[in-house]
Structure 1
Amino acid sequence: MVPYLLLCIIGIIMVYSSSAGIEMQNGGTPQSYLIKQTIYVIIGVIIMVFFANYPLAHYRRRRFLEYSTVIMGALLLAVLIIGHAVNGAKGWINLGPINIQPAEFCKLYFILYLADRMARVRQHGRHFLETKSSIGPLLMAAFFLLLILIQPDTGGGIINLAIISVMILACDIRWAFGVSLIIGFPLVAYIGLQQAVVNGWLHGGYRAQRFIAFMNPFGNASGSGSQLVNSYYAISNGGIFGVGLGNSVQKMGYLPEPNTDFIMAITSEELGLVGVSVILILLLILICRIIQLGIRSNSLYVTLICYGAATFFSVETFFNIGGVLGLLPITGVTFPFISYGGSSMLVLSATVGIIMNISVQQNKQRLEMASPFLSRK
């Protein structure tokens, strides 16, 4: 809970710092995003507490999984029909004062649904991919991923695909093949992207321009590369200790989306390498603890949930930091717990709640096992 709460508090501070100036320039109130993010965090903590105390066995009930699948599919279809478009992506459903992003909720859905399906198959001593039981879940997952990519939400689609892939690797495939696949696929994708840019195969379109800017940001500094170039300026200005909280220059209209996609660039400018390192260390502690819980568990279902959650946090962090540093194309992925966003905060909090539930259950089991020995002493 400690890393989770600290990250949420840092997120509220940085959302306020990164958004106050630009809101005043646009005629709004500087506290606008501060109030919204604080409300999201409070609701997120309540959801976390609920999921931490809700019995894990209920997530495996057939009716719960069926209803979840229907609701998830309906939301992903609805967003294509009545969704609100932002930066060329139709990924939000407008419900008055709030916007729902179905692709975010899909991450937790895949973790819970596939963990149950895979664990049930393995209980009978069979491999998930070698049975007919895998056809339905995999086709459904492929359909949901297709709906996410059609929006188009490339970042969300890749994160969901990574969650599914790691869970399959953890359940079914030998480690040597898994490592080869994890290393080989990104390498092939990068080479293909590089050749596409060099040969001029990518042209036009918002998404294509992001890939072109990734390969040559300073060559497109006045156009599609301006985001990445200004991100570099922010990081350079910050140095090791930063220019001080609230003193960022790049957030004043130079760097778009300073409170969402590029909040870590503003954090780097204001708090420096030291501040960014503290945030990454807190996330690393959280992710390592989740993996540790998965390794210790005797239940494959629990192990797969932990590995899926760790993948969720790790890949989302990697994609956001990679976009800010120019190591990856900008995909619009938020930074966990730090970036502004209601859907992201609620899903992250629910995931942390489930992990805390698992941690509590493991602690109880250890105490029960130790109690006979303590009574003898």
Structure 2
Amino acid sequence: MKTYFKKYMKYFDYPLFFTYVLLCLFGLVMIYSASMFWAVNTLQTTPDYFYKKQLMNLTIAAVAFLIGFIIPYKRYKDRKMMMLIIATMLTLLMSVFLFGYSPDNSGAKSWLNFGFANFQPSELTKLGIILYFSAFFAKKKETGKLDIINESIMPPLLVFGTAILFIGLEPDLGAIGLITLIALSVMAASGMKFSTFSKIIGWLIGLAVIGLIGLFIFKDSFFTERRMGRLKAYLDPFTDADAFGYQIVNGYYAIGSGGVKGLGLGQSVQKLGYLPEPQTDFILAIISEELGTFGVAIVLFGLGFIVYKAMRIAIKAKDPMARMIAAGIGSWIGIQTFINVGGLSGIIPLTGVPLPFISYGGTSVILLSLAMGILANVSMMVKKDNNQD
């Protein structure tokens, strides 16, 4: 292990690492600020309840980052490792179908309760798809079979389709859209021919049509009052500002009252019972209210820098697997950020997707940290390979 670090640590990507750490610490501070009133008045607990829990999550996340960083990314190409990724991912998704529950009674049973902690397997699926697709397509690239449909395309699409089916049964349409875009970004970086990629797009469109038909058939069970309320709130939240549009409208008030300078750290009004669970997916609204445009810029610049670094790593990588992993992780963070910011700003409907590294939640920050460790490993190996030329 000492030899490993001595040989490779000089290529460590410090800007990527410190940006990730600063975002996590900034998120921790804002979680404490955003959640104090909610913890005391709603849960009747101490003001630092969510802060302490997130601190524990970040401790586990640091271990996850280290694990992702230490394991050479090429190990994921090992057949046993690939099978382990698939088995773990699909087993957990099947467990959600059988034993899952909804902690906020949203109607989507997306979580597993292990007693000491809750876990959302769809978060693991995002990373699992990136690693499995990257490893599989890299092996096919080496053998020259990347564009042979039956051998190189159908197996990963079967795994993908099975995962999407279970997530659809929860149902979690936001996760389905995000995982689909992540999978497409990995395939786009694989080096397959455009004609092959176009066929995959066609199949996915066909699956989407089948899914829409299924939604129409089971519309009474899927289009619940809550989901239809969310859609109406997206179209015009002010028409139902006391019910389904309540969260969006109060998010607007928080963003608008913050202005350029903000009201000051800890001075948010909307977190005082007006904005439900402000430490979760609406935390950026509290950041905007307390720290203004400057605070929002810190978050978006940090996340944008990570996405930029990931794509730069993908461009510089000579190894197809390194390129696909970097592109997949960068796309994951970038797309998830867009979905979160788009939801609270009214650009797209709310999906409950957390803001990477900032929102409260263990599953998200731990798995994103594992992904960041893997990305740091990829970056280090890419730098080493390029400096040897």
TM over 0.5: yes
Match of 2:272 among 240, 252, 277: 252
**Counterpart position of 1:151:** 170
Correspondence list, 1:104-183, <5 A = 104-128=123-147, 130-171=149-190, 172-174=192-194
Q: Does 1:237 align with 2:257?
A: yes
**Counterpart position of 1:12:** 28
Q: Does 1:93 align with 2:112?
A: yes
Cα distance in 2, alignment partners of residues 244 and 130 from structure 1:
57
Q: Does 1:362 align with 2:382?
A: yes
Residue 158 of structure 1: how far off its partner (Å): 1.2
Correspondence list, 1:1-377, <5 A = 1-26=17-42, 27-86=44-103, 87-128=106-147, 130-171=149-190, 172-174=192-194, 204-369=224-389
Residue 342 of structure 1: how far off its partner (Å): 0.6
**Is this contact kept in 1: 2:182–2:331, CA < 8 A?**
yes
Cα distance in 1, alignment partners of residues 234 and 171 from structure 2:
18
Paired AA for residue 41 in structure 2: Q
Of 281-290 and 162-171, more deviation after overlay is shown by 162-171
For residue 223 of structure 1, give the secondary structure of its aligned residue in structure 2: coil
Paired AA for residue 73 in structure 2: L
For residue 369 of structure 2, give the secondary structure of its aligned residue in structure 1: helix
Cα distance in 1, alignment partners of residues 332 and 175 from structure 2:
10
Residue 33 of structure 1: how far off its partner (Å): 0.6
**Counterpart position of 1:373:** none
Cα distance in 1, alignment partners of residues 277 and 345 from structure 2:
15
Cα distance in 2, alignment partners of residues 350 and 247 from structure 1:
34
Of 82-91 and 334-343, more deviation after overlay is shown by 82-91
Q: Deviations over 1:131-170 (max 9, x none)?
A: 4332121012011012112212222111111101122223
Q: Structure 1: which 5+ residue stretches go unaligned?
A: 197-201, 370-377
**Is this contact kept in 2: 1:245–1:270, CA < 8 A?**
yes
For residue 266 of structure 2, give the secondary structure of its aligned residue in structure 1: coil
**Residues 65/126 of structure 1: CA separation in 2 closer, same or farther (3 Å cut):** closer
**Counterpart position of 1:372:** none
Of 357-366 and 266-275, more deviation after overlay is shown by 357-366
Paired AA for residue 25 in structure 1: N
**Is this contact kept in 2: 1:203–1:209, CA < 8 A?**
no
**Residues 137/366 of structure 1: CA separation in 2 closer, same or farther (3 Å cut):** closer
Higher relative contact order, structure no. (Cα contacts within 8 Å, ≥ 6 residues apart): 2
Paired AA for residue 40 in structure 2: M
**Is this contact kept in 1: 2:147–2:193, CA < 8 A?**
no
For residue 85 of structure 1, give the secondary structure of its aligned residue in structure 2: coil
Q: TM-score, normalised by structure 1?
A: 0.88
Q: Deviations over 1:291-345 (max 9, x none)?
A: 0011001111110111110110011000000001000100010000000111101
Cα distance in 1, alignment partners of residues 162 and 316 from structure 2:
33
Identical positions, percent: 35
Paired AA for residue 314 in structure 1: G
Paired AA for residue 318 in structure 1: F
Residue 92 of structure 1: how far off its partner (Å): 1.0
**Is this contact kept in 2: 1:155–1:333, CA < 8 A?**
yes
